[in-house]
Amino acid sequence: MLPHFEASLDFAQQLDKLDPLSDFKNQFHFPQHKGQSAIYFCGNSLGLQPKSVATAVETELTTWKELAVGGYFNGPNPWLHYQEYLKPSLAKLVGAKEIEVSAMNALTVNLHLLMLSFYRPTKDRFKIIMEAGAFPSDQYAVETLVKHFGLNPSEAIIEIAPLEGKKTLSTDQIVNTIEELGDTLSMVLFGGINYYTGQFFDLKAITHATHKVGAIAGFDLAHVTGNIPLSLHEWEVDFAAWCSYKYLNAGPGAVGGFFIHEKHAVNPTIPRLAGWWGNDEKERFKMEKGFIPKTNASGWNISTAQVFNMVGLKASLSIIELADINRIREKSIVLTAYLAFLLNQLDRISFEIITPEDKDQRGAQLSLYFKERAKEIHQKLIDNGVIVDYREPGVIRVAPAPLYCSFEDVFKFYEILKTNF
């Protein structure tokens, strides 16, 4: 149950005193503004650097320096198994078995690889559903996927747009579209959270409806993983992929992660693009022709673990594990609700919070839609030490990541808006 909010610094500071996660803020580096830490509400684009990352990178540099190729088998973290170190934490974050997750490449590369495995169009069943206004990478990936199979994107891709006068989609609207397409539907590829509106979709309901018509349910979880706890195995999601540089704080260009449901992961006959690292380890060093995939999600791994692209994720996951994703979510619900409460006090600024009010339909992000002056307001916030981002048309995305943002941060953000506009 949410507390009775007050628009005062004392109240915000009292919430911080009661916050069991408040000390985690000290484990991250903040950009500086005029000698003070900036108010950083941009973790939905790039998470902050954990202070432990520098030492973690130095550890692997030392291993490389002292052991060279021997680092694959020796040292504090033998590189041969580096992706394995990430699986327990990733599995907890997305509600999976360890055999259902792995890490490799980057998000869009992984989406391409997974869709090539699970999109099997036929003359009658070839359509893909996605949300209108999905992140451009997802749009490009799906567009080029259907072209790869010689299909016309305008016929194969069905985009679901909000109804007239609405900014977001309803679950009923999504499910009804799935049911209407029926046995012409091959795959659903939705973002778990829409990057622009901040809406969190009902993945369980979407997956259930998709399976009822015999199609595959896949998700881009870039804005979800590390933000909202998931139950991908229980919901029987077929596949999902995510980046790790947002709420997982792994650094720019850090390794991506992916999920493949156990019912598929253990099936070696599912087609895929293969590489040495996905081959059965008992057979790998025989150096023979004939790909024999591991019977888990790692059977989709292609190349050697990107150690220096995984170091930041390994360091950050240890922090997230200690904080616990469920406690992170509990704080996030209150923190985001407090932000919404304060924003609703601002009667001199004309804007609309287009992110759903329902806590079950949003994560840490609120999207503020301005009919005018959005870029000017965004720049004024930056000038006052508040880091948020702007997306066309007219939206300022505000995302107080609960792992390192405080209630006082939220209140100060409100005061800056109140004072300057």
Q: Which amino acid is at 233?
A: H
User: For residue range 107-132, what is the model confidence (pLDDT) as tens digits?
Assistant: 999 999 999 999 999 999 999 999 99
pLDDT at 176: 98
The band of 2, judged by pLDDT with boundaries at 50, 70 and 90, is: confident
Q: pLDDT value at position 148?
A: 98
Domain count, the chain: 2
Contact 101, 257 (CB under 8 A): yes
Task: Please check whether residues 15 and 113 belong to one and the same domain.
Answer: no
Phi, psi (degrees; rounded to nearest 5) at 290 = 100, 100
Is there a domain that residue 83 lies in?
yes
Q: Is the pLDDT of residue 216 over 80?
A: yes
276 with 246, same domain: the answer is: yes
Has residue 50 been placed in a domain?
no
Long-range pairs, 226-229, Cβ under 8 A, ≥24: 226/47, 226/93, 226/320, 226/325, 226/328, 227/44, 227/193, 227/329, 227/332, 227/363, 227/364, 227/401, 228/192, 228/193, 228/200, 228/329, 228/332, 228/363, 229/93, 229/95, 229/325, 229/326, 229/329
Per-residue pLDDT band for 421 (boundaries 50, 70, 90) equals: confident
**Local structure of residue 419 (DSSP, 8 states):** H
Phi and psi at residue 74, in whole multiples of 5°?
Answer: -135, -175
* Mean pLDDT estimate for the chain: 97
pLDDT tens-digit series, residues 361-390: 999 999 999 989 999 999 999 999 999 999
Contact 301, 278 (CB under 8 A): yes
Residue 406 gets which letter from DSSP? Answer: -
C-alpha dihedral, 285 to 290 to 294 to 296, nearest 10°: 160
CA distance 343 to 112: 39
**Smallest Cα–Cα separation from 243: which of 415, 89, 111, 405?**
111
Shared-domain flag, residues 310 and 329:
no
The domain boundary, picked from 320, 348, 380, lies at 320
Residue 53 lies in a domain: no
Residue 162 has pLDDT above 90, yes or no: yes
**Closest by Cα among 363, 359, 365 to 389:** 365
Last residue of a domain, one of 267, 291, 320: 320
User: How confident is the model at residue 284, as a pLDDT?
Assistant: 79
Neighbours of 78 (CB within 10 A): 16
Question: Do residues 90 and 241 touch, judged by C-beta distance below 8 A?
Answer: no
Identify the bridge partners of residue 32 per DSSP, sorted by sequence position: 37
Residues spanned by the domain of 389: 9-44+325-420
Tell whether the model's pLDDT for residue 235 goes beyond 80: yes
User: What's residue 338's pLDDT?
Assistant: 98
Q: Are residues 290 and 415 in the same domain?
A: no
pTM comes to: 0.97
Residue 401 falls inside a structural domain? yes
Predicted confidence (pLDDT) per residue in 281-321, tens digit: 888 788 999 999 999 999 999 999 999 999 999 999 999 99
CATH number at residue 380: 3.90.1150.10
298 burial level (CB within 10 Å; 0-12, 13-18, 19+)? buried
- Whether residues 343 and 305 fall in one domain: no
Looking at 84-215, list the stretches that DSSP marks H as alpha helix, in order from N- to C-terminal side: 87-94, 107-118, 136-148, 153-156, 171-181, 203-212
- Rounded to 5 degrees, φ, ψ at 231 are -135, 60
Q: Identify the burial level of 45 via C-beta atoms within 10 angstroms of its C-beta, where 0-12 means exposed, 13-18 middle and 19 or more buried.
A: middle
Q: What is the pLDDT of residue 283?
A: 83
Is residue 230 domain-shared with residue 85, that is, in the same domain? yes
Look at residues 297, 320, 343 and tell me which one is the last residue of a structural domain.
320
Helix then strand then coil, in percent of the chain rounded to 5, is 45, 15, 40
pLDDT at 93 over 90: yes
Q: Is residue 313 part of a domain?
A: yes
The per-residue pLDDT for 181 is 98
pLDDT digits (tens, 9 = 90+) for 326-363: 999 999 999 999 999 999 999 888 999 999 999 999 99
The crossing angle, in degrees rounded to 10, of helices 307-323 and 87-94 is: 50
Q: What is the pLDDT of residues 126-156, one digit of tens each?
A: 999 999 999 999 999 999 999 999 999 999 9
Say yes or no: 40 and 140 in one domain. Answer: no
